[in-house]
Structure 1
């Protein structure tokens, strides 16, 4: 029997807010092959993940430039044009998130984000402040899917892990939450999430 859900925890990128580095980089590196190589070898997901862990951008840029000095201008462009990478929120998903809050559910957020770029995101999308609070990976020096950030969120917000439902677009983070004793579902769209919530007895 599934434990009654008393806490709902949202990821942000690709769940509430669209994130896509290709928005500025389709202009910055117009050649598709060169652009793909840049993201595969220079400003990789693993490189960006360290900013989510709290590494300062100047240090990140210096590290990448030491590996690829010929790409220095494009490396610096990643942070310089970062604000273009979050062009819009998912209206249907945001509406569901707000409906859950309005219905009295305990909603918090847990996100992998560099501290400074998250300040841009939360200023642009004020609805992120409507939940009870946010754990930002770069601010606590921990990242999903590692166990410690889930435990930190539980401690910070007084959650019961078995009564907590986590919503994230990445399977690895869903599995990380489950390993921490949470319930979790993978986000693929607002309609599917609504059905997932209903399966836990949550309707809005």
Structure 2
């Protein structure tokens, strides 16, 4: 990037928020093997992604309980106890976010997240109010890495993608951002992110 970036765009889950359904299901199932089997065979990432795309949770639960009636209570828990899938914030990244805000950097969010559960995060994490704009997949009916959801940042908030830094823990989302001209960083740890951001931090 030859010019200073005009904005930094954050993914949330896995970057700023420690989200993992295992936090919930370790309370409900007897061992890690059962948890892994349930998450890979019943409440799969593909199933959850449809809620991120905008499918209502009521429909998602009804569809899956019809398919796996023996797991009804466990499936319902994913929705009704969703708040327990959040372990907390990722402190090191929140510290970086704080420094960027204090340095006057324009901050935006682009997240694959259900429109029904995102208000839980808004209520829990005060720093979500620091963003000039947040694009939530469940509100758009689009999920990353679809290029159209990145364009929402451009069209709605005037973000110049060619002068924006994008941070995500998903390699395929990073690739999609890079193909649109963003300086895309694959998040692996706050320490690596701090190094990658370099001169952006005071």
* Same fold (TM > 0.5): yes
Distance 1:52 1:124 in 2: 19
Distance 1:128 1:192 in 2: 22
Distance 1:50 1:96 in 2: 31
What is aligned with 2:87? Answer: 87
What is aligned with 2:6? Answer: 6
Structure 1 gap segments, 5+ residues each? none
Q: Is the 8 A contact 2:108 2:132 kept in 1?
A: yes
- TM-score between the two structures when normalised by the length of structure 1: 0.94
Shift of 1:90: 1.4
- Give the match's secondary structure for 2:8: strand
Q: Is the 8 A contact 1:9 1:110 kept in 2?
A: yes
Structure 2 gap segments, 5+ residues each? none
Distance 2:54 2:114 in 1: 6
Q: Is the 8 A contact 1:3 1:162 kept in 2?
A: no
Aligned residues: 202
What is aligned with 1:158? Answer: 158
Distance 2:90 2:10 in 1: 13
- Give the match's secondary structure for 2:166: strand
- Give the match's secondary structure for 1:159: coil
CA RMSD for the aligned pairs?
1.3
- Give the match's secondary structure for 1:33: helix
Q: Is the 8 A contact 1:112 1:136 kept in 2?
A: yes
- Give the match's secondary structure for 1:87: strand
Shift of 1:190: 1.6
Shift of 1:130: 0.8
Superposed counterparts of 1:1-204, under 5 Å: 2-198=2-198, 201-204=199-202
Distance 2:176 2:2 in 1: 19
Q: Is the 8 A contact 1:168 1:186 kept in 2?
A: yes
Shift of 1:4: 3.0
Shift of 1:36: 1.7
Shift of 1:3: 4.3
